[in-house]
Amino acid sequence: MKGKTFGGSQDYVASEELLSAVNIAMTLQKPLLLKGEPGTGKTMLARSIASSLHAPLYIWNIKSTTKAQDGLYVYDVVQRLYDSQFGGEGVDDIEKYVHLGQVGEAFESEERAVLLIDEIDKADLEFPNDLLWELDQMEFTIPQTGRTVKAKHRPVILITSNAEKELPDAFLRRCIFHYIEFPDEALMRRIIGVHYPDLEQNLLDQAIAAFYWVRGLPGLQKKPSTSELIDWIRALTFSGIPQEEILRQIPFAGVLLKKNEDLESLEKSKARRRF
């Protein structure tokens, strides 16, 4: 197998399936498309891969107004016009007004980089199609200067999606896909262990039991995710609430649940259960 493989890192715990998907994508040099519930660590994964490969990380956050070209380069026409009007220096030098975007930067990087295209589904429906050539060939040309930016080392590309829009088939065909499931209890314990190495066993047991019970409530509009559990455990450790009360009372439920309706249904369920 070429290059290094990724086996998780100290501060990031991943399932076997996810690790093998990352390694498949790295070996085949194809973008890895990640989907999953919010809070399953899609964005964190890129940081962790970058740090374990000692590679620079470029993050391209996609918004609804993002155009594919923005990630490659931006030609600041307006600035150049202004400069030409007021006799700024170096107006002839178009290169000065061409700024590389995150994809361009990752291509130009002297060592193999990690490129994260975050929440690609936020953008316009056609957005992924506009990147097909660039991600396949790992190069693009800036027509204004005639310069071709070609990847010196094929970057490791991670793409995350929250499934707000369906991605075009042509784009999907070029990706390796992995759906990050919500961590099961065993994996969750390892994740918590990374964040709180010295947590008392009893507190952990109680918190995890309560957390999965809350997640299992029917009709929740927004289920609590890993990051909320981590915040909640912090709140619990600082509060000094007796540990045996955690499961019964579920204190600071507002940390876990963010919607009024959800908090109400939690109260109702608490009243109904028998412990």
- Pick from 7, 61, 172, 244 the residue near another protein by CB under 8 A: 172
Q: Cα(262)–Cα(133) distance, rounded to whole angstroms?
A: 45
Q: Cα(190)–Cα(193) distance, rounded to whole angstroms?
A: 5
* Site track 125-164 with another protein (rule: CB under 8 A), x = hit: --------------------------------------xx
Q: What number of chain residues touch another protein (CB under 8 A)? A: 34
Using alpha carbons, list the distances in angstroms from residue 248 to 21, 66, 162, 237, 263.
39, 47, 34, 16, 15
Q: Which stretch binds another protein (CB under 8 A): 93-101, 112-120, 173-181, 191-199?
A: 173-181
In this complex, which beta carbon is closest to another protein, that of residue 17 or of residue 244? 17
Q: Cα(173)–Cα(170) distance, rounded to whole angstroms?
A: 5
In this complex, which beta carbon is closest to another protein, that of residue 74 or of residue 203? 74
- Pick from 169, 197, 274, 275 the residue near another protein by CB under 8 A: 169
74-103 positions binding another protein, by CB under 8 A: 77-78, 81-82, 85
| CA within 13 Å, CB half, 96 | 12
Q: Cα(194)–Cα(219) distance, rounded to whole angstroms?
A: 31
Structure tokens at 205: 């047991």
Q: Taking CB under 8 A as the rule, does residue 54 contact another protein? A: no
Block residue for tokens 């030409």 = 84
In this complex, which beta carbon is closest to another protein, that of residue 21 or of residue 50? 21
Rounded CA Rg of the chain: 23
Shortest Å, Cβ 25 to another protein: 8
In this complex, which beta carbon is closest to another protein, that of residue 42 or of residue 178? 178
Q: Cα(101)–Cα(59) distance, rounded to whole angstroms?
A: 10
Task: Assign 174 to helix, strand or coil.
Answer: coil
Binding interface with another protein (CB under 8 A):
1, 16-17, 20-21, 23-25, 27-28, 30, 33, 35, 77-78, 81-82, 85, 163-165, 167, 169, 172-179, 181, 219, 221
